[in-house]
Each structure stands twice: as C-alpha cells, then as structure tokens.
Chains A and B, each alone.
Chain A
C-alpha cells in the first residue's frame, strides 16, 4: 500500500518534470526578441541580426533545437551562454552560494519561529495573545516584500544607520549585510506558516484523541507537542515546501533591492541579455527543484496524515 503510493508519487514527479521541460522551452521561445537582437546593439541592422542568428543556429526549427537541448540536458550539459560562451553551470555556481546562504539562514530561523508563534497563539483560542499574534501576522503577511524591504532599509539602515543598506561590498566582507534581506525574507513565510500551525493546533486540540490523552494523564506538553502538533503539521509542511522553493528560485526582488549576487540576479541579467540558454538552464534547475521539494513535502505530510491519498 505504502510502497505503491510511493511508486505512484515518484511517477507523478517524473511526469511533472517532463512537462516542465517542455514548458520551459516553449516559454523561453515565447520571450519577445532573441539574443541576436540584443547582441546587435542599440542600432540594429537587419542583416547583422540575421548573421548573428545563423551563427547561433537560432534559425533552425524549434523542434530540432528542443531535441538537441533535451539530449544535452540528459547528459547533464546545460549548454553555454550565447553572450559570453561560458557554460550555464558556471552561471549557476556564481549565484548559488549567496542564494543557498540566504535560504539556509532564513529556514533555520523560520521553522522554530513559526512553530513557536503558532503554538503560542493556539494556547488559548481567542485570548488576548492569540488576537495580538493573529492580527500582527495578518498585517505583516499583507505587506509585499519590496515595500517591507524599502521600509526596513529606510528606517534601520538609512535613518538609524544600524545596518548596511546593501551588500555592494560583498557578503564575506561584512556578514551584517545579510540581516536586512533575511528579515524581509522571513516576514511573510513566518506569518503564513505560523497561522497554519495555529489553525491546525486549534483543530487538533479539539479532537477526541486529545481529550483521551488528557483523560489518561498525559502531561500537557506531550499533549501539545506529540499528540496535537503532528496533526497540525501536514498543511504547514506543504507551505514550507513552497517557501523553500521561493527562497531557492525566486527572491529576485529582495536580491535586487539589497544588491545581492544570487541566482535571482543571475536570472534577471540573463533575461535582460536575451541569453536563452542561461534562462532555460536556470528555469530547468528551478523547476526540478520545485518538483523535488513538493515530493519531499508530500512524504512529510504522508507521515503525519497517513490516510492521505494522491489527488488525481
């Protein structure tokens, strides 16, 4: 039963990956203009564009290029940049360090903070503390990260001068540059996940199995952490997977705001330069990461809600 569930879930992951590869290619094809136009400079001359196109083999049929790209991909080759000729994997390596550092810091703070806030709010539904936490998390969740980023940066960096406003000097030189970005990255996920934990806890604490545990003298902390919490975790785990995904693949705005050279910035530059192989390579890596993270979340959810069936 469990094994067949796992098999079907893995198969679903493979199908999702295949669909994603097709989608990535089609979407980058649909980007307006191509590298030839971008490379041709400010004063494009149609002949020059055509020349660049044929040099880059952009004039070959799309299907042919797709199959070629797919073949290389399966051999682990993401291709080379049209602009600089560097391998795409090099671009990935450039941004990965900063992105991973940001994501790891954020997650390390996010999980305990969100659990703690959610459990705290769920201690007594409707209490003053609960209302305070619930309204505060809703308010912060409603703030888009660019607004929050600019607000924090204005107050904490520019007015008070406590923290550096951007990471222009480099992360290694002054780790304090990470504080503001991590705060901004934390803000919304902490709110969404703690709210899910709170709702899940309140629901679980009202269940007969919790009443039975209390009846039989199980200590209150065990009732909360070992009986109620596991039942509150499944939705939170799914949200955490989406957050991981976002942290690893999509913090373009925050990176731009604080001038952090992460994967988001690499992607942004590549899009601006119409550097199709780099964009495709990053998109593929991001998409596969998403598939894998969701698979992980489903496994976690399955452990804590073992009756879950796959939705078709």
Chain B
C-alpha cells in the first residue's frame, strides 16, 4: 500500500481540564476512505479540524498530526455556513484559481452548469448544490485530503445516494477522504477503514464491523382523534401550491409518520397544524374545536397543546442564554408554572433526557441540544407533538434516546405524535400509520394514507 497522506499519532486535546481527545491514532491514504464513527460529542469534529491545524480556543495539544501542507479541504456539516451570503459563487471561487480551473472543479464536483452556478448567490442554490460548491472549492484549492463532516445529514435518500456516488468518484481519482459520520449506511458503503471514537478515545479501528440494531415497536389500539385536519390546501409565500387537499386524523397515544421526498410539503403540513403557516384552506380541529390559523390568535392552552420540534435544534435556541433557562421559560409561558416550579420541571425533564442542566447552546452537542429542544416542547404538556426530522442529524445513540423517550411518552401519557421523517427505521419503530405525501401532476401534492397497521 502507498504511504499515508495523513498520519495522526497519539493526539491529545484538552480544554480547561476537559479531555476532548485522548490518544487518537488515524491514517488516511490517497484513493481510500477513512471513516470516523461515533456519537455526537465523541471528538469526531475535533479530530477533523485537527487535520486542518485548527483547535478549540485555549486547547492544550500533544501528539503529532502529519498532513500534506496546504492540501486539506473541509466540507462542514452545514455547507451554507462556509459560503459567504454576500458574495456570488463566481467571486468566491474566482479568487482561488482561473476561470477554466473553476469550471473544471465545478464539473468534477458534479455541478453540470458551472456558468449558471457562478452567477448565483449561495441562498439561490439548493442544499445539495451548496455542498457541491464547497467540495469544488476544496478541489480548486488543490486538496488531496478532504475532511467531510456529516455530509449526508438531513438529506433525503436520493440526494444522499447521489452524494455517495460523487464522493466515491472523487476517491477513485486519488483523493483521500476522511469521513466524519454517524450514518451507518453511508459509512458501510464508502469506508475502507473505520475508526470508532467514544469519549475522545479510539474504541475500535479497522475494517467495517457489525451495526447495533434498533429497538422494537409496541402495538397500538385506536382512540378518539385529538387533532384532525380536513381538506388542507396550502400555498408557499410566493403563491406556489405546497399541499393539495390533505386530510388526516391523529388519536391520543397514536403516532403518524409523515413521509415523502424533500419538497413534498411535509414540513408545510406540520407548520399548518402548529399555527406556523396560516396561508391555507381547510380546517384544523383540536378535540373537535377549530384551531385558529396563526399562533397569535391561539389561546395559551391551544398554544401549549400543539408543540413543534424543529430539525435544526441549534437555530431553535437563543445562543446567548443558558439552555435550561430557555426550557424553563416555556414552562412559565405555556405551562403557567411559577419560576421556581418551572426551573424544577425543566431540570427534571432535561435530566430524564440525559441533557446537562447547565451551559449555553454552544456547550452542548447537537444530540444534546435536540433532546433539550424536545424537553422544551414537552414541558408545556402538549397533547400533540410535531417532530420535524428531529433525528436526522443525530448520532445513533442520541437518536435512540429520543425515539425511546417518545415511545414511552406515547404509551404512558397518550401524547399524539406527528413524525415528519425520511428515516424509515424511526417510522418503523414509532409509527402506527404512515401518510405518504406524493407530488401530484399539478405541481402540488396530495396525501394518501398508505399503510394502516
């Protein structure tokens, strides 16, 4: 085998007495994929950034990191964050090389119409295109090693499959790929070598190994509907049809999975129910009484009754205030508790979900933050919980914790769950029924209740 391009030996990173990495060994070879696998907070991103020579502020570092100088590219978990919103793609890439090289890099990253992409601002590109632009940027820079942090997170299965093919092609051309991921399917498909991290230590290294299985689901019995939506037709702010004539009911203790491709209106439907999207025709009722369309006209009880957990937990918290305080605030505003009671309730729920009860959002991992977001929704004692892709960005452990907790709540408290997801496994564990939203010829979508188990 050829010499390694990246060689990490006994890397230790310590910040303020806390050990982030504890003796990590890692190698990456040209034309091969090394996957770093592990739960969020295990040190994947710290290791990935170490390959770029970047460490957290005030970190004490020991060990060696050998990389080809000036040839390590980085594709972060959210590619949009590294694309300057005020600059066109052409300006961004243009400063890294001549036009011909730019177009060549875009083509290698599978962007077929470079000229059109170069004229756009980042926000005018889809998530997949943004990711390809970031990959093209790395290629243009002359990267021989690419560090990709959770590249498949939050993408629908088809986009994910495309991405895997593209990455595989780049690796065939001689790129060394360091894949930070907890997406077992992708790791299985791409990785030549897997390094498994737990708590900053390598617990296993070598070829692909066995995958942990998911927990079983319980059996359901039908109950009276809590939430019902009849003939919902909704439009996007621009006027385009987002949903066409969807009807659904949700009983106490029931879980309905809402599936369908990106853009099929899953989120719009969830937002209509939660009062976040008011441009729709049709009715939404809670316990048989119509729910006002917008949040502003809903009473406190109605607000508390339907809660929503967003896909991006980090964006759903105020980064400047402690997480526990923000969870407690929901108990005050929606649950009508006093400040002391609310603090108690928040701390109890956070502890139950295994989330640290101190610290601001930046100090929590993505998985912990998503569980905190769930706690904030639950502290209001909702009747209905809308979960919008809440497990899609999470590692296997966090995902498992959340799914188990939701299953327990549904069985014990009769919470009605609407699970927006393209995670088949999550739907299989939790859902009693599945509503598959299909794109219809008119450009809109309609729903069909495909399975009732």
Contact = CB atoms under 8 A, between A and B. Distances in A.
Interface of A: 1, 207-209, 211-213, 215-218, 222, 226-227, 230-231, 233, 303-307
B74 interface: yes
A218 B121 contact: no
Given A215-B74, A230-B87, A304-B86, A208 B81 contact: yes
Contacts of A212: 74, 76, 82, 134, 137
Contacts of A216: 73, 96, 137-138, 141
Nearest to A227: B84
B366 to A, nearest CB: 15
B86 A208 contact: no
Contacts, number: 54
A305 B82 contact: no
Interface string B63-94: 00000001001101000011111110001000
Nearest to A230: B86
Nearest to B76: A208
Does more than half of chain A's interface fall in helix, strand or loop, or is it mixed? helix
Interface of B: 52, 54, 70, 73-74, 76, 81-87, 91, 95-96, 121, 123-124, 134, 137-138, 141, 238
B127 to A, nearest CB: 15
Contacts of B74: 212, 215
B81 A207 contact: yes
Contacts of A233: 86
Contact of A231 (B85, B95, B123, B238): B85
A278 B141 CA distance: 64
Given A215-B52, A217-B70, A218-B95, A209 B82 contact: yes
B123 A217 contact: no
Contact of B123 (A226, A303, A307): A307
A216 B70 CA distance: 8
A227 B83 CA distance: 10
B95 A307 contact: no
Given A215-B54, A230-B84, A305-B86, 12 more contacts: A208-B76, A208-B81, A209-B84, A213-B84, A216-B96, A216-B138, A216-B141, A217-B141, A226-B95, A230-B87, A231-B85, A304-B86
A300 to B, nearest CB: 11
Nearest to A229: B86
Given A216-B137, A306-B123, A208 B70 contact: no
Contact of B85 (A217, A218, A222, A307): A307
Nearest to A232: B86
Contacts of B87: 226-227, 230
A301 to B, nearest CB: 10
Contacts of B83: 209
Contacts of A209: 81-85
Q: Name the residue among B74, B76, B86, B238 with the largest chain A CB count within 10 angstroms.
A: B86
Contacts of B54: 211, 215
B70 A305 contact: no
Contacts of A213: 84
A190 to B, nearest CB: 24
A208 B84 CA distance: 9
A305 B85 contact: yes
Q: Name the residue among B52, B76, B82, B138 with the largest chain A CB count within 10 angstroms.
A: B82
22 contacts: A1-B238, A208-B76, A208-B82, A209-B82, A212-B74, A212-B76, A212-B82, A212-B134, A215-B52, A215-B74, A216-B96, A216-B141, A217-B70, A218-B95, A222-B95, A226-B95, A230-B86, A231-B84, A304-B86, A305-B85, A306-B86, A307-B123
